Amino acid sequence: MTAELQTPRLILQPLAANHADDLFHVFSDEATMRYWHHPPHRQSHQTTVMIQHLLASEAACWWAIVLRENNRAIGYVGYLGTTIPGMGYILHSDYWRQGYGTEAVNAALKYGFTILGLNRVELWINDGNVASQRLAQKVGFTRRGQFSMRYQHHPTPHEKYVYGLRAEEWAEKTQA
C-alpha cells in the first residue's frame, strides 16, 4: 500500500478515483499536455479511465500531488512498478516554476529508495521539455541516453532522453 507523504506545501495522497475531477483539469490543459504521450483529455471519463489503468498494476505506486492550502490535486507523481523503476510526473501548468515539482519528486524519490528499496529510477523526457529536464537534473538525475519516438497524435518523431538516478547517487546527494 502506498503511504501518504508530506512536504512543506504538499500532501502526496495515494492516487484514487476521487482525484479524477481535479486531475481532469491537469489532463485537459493544452500547455500541460504539450509533451505528454497522449493528447489532452476532452472528457472527464478519460481521466477516470487513466487513473484506473494506473492503479491496475499492483507493483505501481502513484500519488496525487495535493496542495495543503486547498486540498486540490494539481498533478501526480509515482512509479510504474518496482521491477522496472520508471518514474512519471505531471503538474498543471499554473503551478510550474514554483518548486512544487521538485518537492513532489524529492518526496517520491525518498520513498522509492528508502521504503520500496529501489536500486535505481529512470525517467523518459521529451527532448523539447527543457523544464522537466531541469527538474530531473535538480533532484539528481543524470542523462544516460536517448532514443527516437513518435506519438500517434504528433506528426513527427522526437527524441526521448533517458535520465537515471541510482540509490547510491541519491544517498550521496541527500547527505551533501
Q: What is the pLDDT of residue 154?
A: 61
103-120, pLDDT tens digit by residue? 999 999 999 999 999 999
* Burial (CB count <10 Å: 0-12, 13-18, 19+), residue 63: buried
pLDDT at 152: 66
**Mean pLDDT on 128-142:** 95
- Answer yes or no: pTM beyond 0.85: yes
32-74 pLDDT tens trace: 988 887 889 999 999 999 999 988 888 889 999 999 999 999 9
- Quick one: average pLDDT of 114-127? 93
Percent of the chain with pLDDT over 70: 94
- Contacts with 90 (C-beta within 8 Å, 6 or more apart), sequence order: 26, 27, 32, 36, 75, 76
pLDDT at 12 exceeding the cut of 90: yes
Instruction: Determine the pLDDT at residue 109.
Output: 97
